[in-house]
Every structure is written in structure tokens, then in C-alpha cells.
């Protein structure tokens, strides 16, 4: 998914792409992130005081998923990364005045003028930022309201898509500048670095990011936020005011363990 706050996520042409999107993030084909101007990439930090996990034993190629399945050692470490997140808004966690939305009843229509229903204003705004949101009321319950800045309109979809039209995978799907990490690249977060204003990342939050095993599916617009910027998908909204959640964060000066592209 993915337009706005942390990376204009790409969604492929048929559904018009993840960020058609990713949530999806912000991609050159579309994506989500924030509506604030792109951040500047951080300098390479000094060695972190947070201990890195012991490397896993060598073995066959890892399976995409939780860190527990990773059985190979990263080929190299890369420092100085800025990691942002994107997510899928859920209508039931939003309230306030409702606004009517027009667009396409399915991906890729010629005239985006159909009545797609009315939704809480904050939900619609979150969809514009993240790329897709799950509908929980009315005749379209269970479907997704999607948006792409690149396409310029809303549509209804059956899934929240990544840039290759697969469902976004929580704690797996990631986006990055293709000049640094091309699509298909895989990585783990070895060191979380610091949060905003240099504040430490809570231990339980950092551990959750360190346990994930990410695959670059979406791409950011070249240079967005600097070369060392990745946008990672953390799943559906789980509570009201989700953007206040400790998992809706930014990791500055993070260290990545990179695996070879398959």
C-alpha cells in the first residue's frame, strides 16, 4: 500500500500498484508514508550500544517469515538506515463525520465516478496516506478502500496489495530505494538505532522489529528520504489512534543484515 507518510508505495498497473500504496509505503509507482516532506537520510552512526543478536548458524536458504526460520548468516551489515513503517487502516477504529467517496467499484475502471459509500473522514484520510484500508460497515464490509496518488482516485479492492499484486504481508513486506535494495532483496534489522529526537526505542518494540525477516517488494521513489531508507509493513491497525502506538515509529541509524538477492 501506500501514499503519503512514509514512502509512496508502488501498486502495479492493474490495481494501480501497492502503495497503491504500500502502506503500500511510498513508491515510484505509488505508496504510503507521511504527508510531510521527504526526510533527509541520516549520517552513518557510530557503533550502537545495543548488542546485536548472535548470527544464526549457516544452512540452506532462509524462508521468508519470522526470524526463527532464518538459518543463514547475512552477507553483510549496512549501517545508517532510516526505517519507517506503514499499515492498513481499519474503519471501525475511526469515528466522526462521514464523507462520501467516489471512484472505481473495482481496480482499473475507465470512469472513477461510482458511489463507493460514505466513511469516517479520518479513515478516508488514513487511506490516502497508507494506500488501502479495510471497510467494516455497509454493503462493502470486508473489502478495501484503496487510493493512489499516481492514479488520482479511490477504488474498491478485495485485498490490500503490494507492488506485484499480492496481499501485503505483515512484518515481511518492505519497500526501499531500488538503487540500493532492488526488489527481491531480503534483510533483518540487527540494531534498531534510536527513535525520534534521539530517544531510545523501547526494548519490546525493538525486539519485534529484530525478529522480523523482511523482503523488498515495493520500491520507493528514487532518493525519497535518502538512499538508506526502508519502509516496512506492520499489518492492520489494532486500536484507535494507532499512530500513537509504540510500533508506529521511526528507527534512525538502524543496522541491517543483508542477504543476497535470490
The pLDDT value recorded for residue 1 is: 44
Q: What is the pTM of this model?
A: 0.73
* Per-residue 3-state assignment (H helix, E strand, C coil) for the chain: CCCECCEECCCCCCCCCCCCCCCCCECCCCCCECCCCCCCCCCCCCCCCCCCCCCCCCCCCCCCCEHHHCCCCCCEEEEEEEEEEEEECEHHHCCCCEEEEEEECCCCCCCCCEEEEEEEHHHHHHHHHHCEEECCCHHHCCCEEEEECCCCEEEEECCCECCCCCECCCCCEEEEECCCCCCCCEEEEEECCECHHHCECCHHHHHHHHHECEEEEEEECCCCCCCCEEEEEEEECCCCCHHHCCCCCCEEEEEEEEECCC
User: Residue-wise pLDDT tens for the chain (262 aa)?
Assistant: 444 433 333 333 333 333 333 343 333 333 333 333 333 333 333 333 443 443 333 333 334 444 545 556 788 899 999 999 999 999 999 999 999 999 999 998 989 999 999 999 999 999 999 999 999 999 999 999 999 888 899 999 999 999 889 999 999 999 998 788 888 999 999 999 999 889 999 999 999 999 999 999 987 766 566 678 999 999 999 999 999 999 999 999 999 999 875 5
Can you name the CATH fold of 67-87+168-259? Barwin-like endoglucanases (2.40.40)
Q: Delimit the domains of the chain by residue range.
A: 67-87+168-259
Amino acid at each position: 500500500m501506500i501514499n503519503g507518510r512514509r514512502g509512496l508505495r508502488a501498486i502495479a498497473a492493474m490495481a494501480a500498484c501497492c502503495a497503491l500504496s504500500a502502506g503500500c509505503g511510498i513508491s515510484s509507482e505509488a505508496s504510503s508514508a507521511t504527508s510531510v516532506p521527504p526526510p533527509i537520510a541520516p549520517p552513518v552512526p557510530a557503533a550502537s550500544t545495543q548488542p546485536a543478536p548472535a548470527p544464526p548458524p549457516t544452512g540452506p536458504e532462509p524462508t521468508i517469515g519470522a526470524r526463527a526460520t532464518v538459518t543463514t548468516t547475512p552477507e553483510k551489515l549496512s549501517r545508517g538506515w532510516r526505517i519507517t513503517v506503514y499499515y492498513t487502516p481499519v474503519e471501525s477504529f475511526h469515528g466522526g463525520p462521514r464523507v462520501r467517496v467516489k471512484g472505481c467499484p473495482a481496480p482499473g475502471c475507465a470512469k472513477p465516478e461510482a458511489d463507493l459509500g460514505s466513511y469516517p473522514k479520518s479513515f478516508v484520510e488514513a487511506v490516502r496516506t497508507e494506500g488501502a484500508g479495510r471497510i467494516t460497515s455497509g454493503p462493502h464490509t470486508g473489502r478495501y478502500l484503496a487510493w493512489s496518488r499516481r492514479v488520482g482516485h479511490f477504488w474498491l479492492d478485495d485485498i490490500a496489495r503490494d507492488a506485484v499484486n499480492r496481499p501485503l504481508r505483515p512484518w515481511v513486506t518492505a519497500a526501499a530505494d531500488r538503487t540500493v535494495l532492488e526488489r527481491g532483496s531480503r534483510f533483518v534489522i540487527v540494531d534498531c538505532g534510536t527513535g525520534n529526537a534521539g530517544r531510545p526505542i523501547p526494548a519490546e518494540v525493538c525486539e519485534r522489529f529484530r525478529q522480523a525477516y523482511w523482503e523488498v517488494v515495493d520500491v520507493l521513489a528514487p532518493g525519497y528520504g535518502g538512499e538508506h531508507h526502508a519502509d516496512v509493513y506492520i499489518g492492520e491497525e489494532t486500536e484507535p489512534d494507532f499512530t500513537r502506538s509504540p510500533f508506529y515509529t521511526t528507527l534512525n541509524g538502524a543496522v541491517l543484515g543483508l542477504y543476497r538477492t535470490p
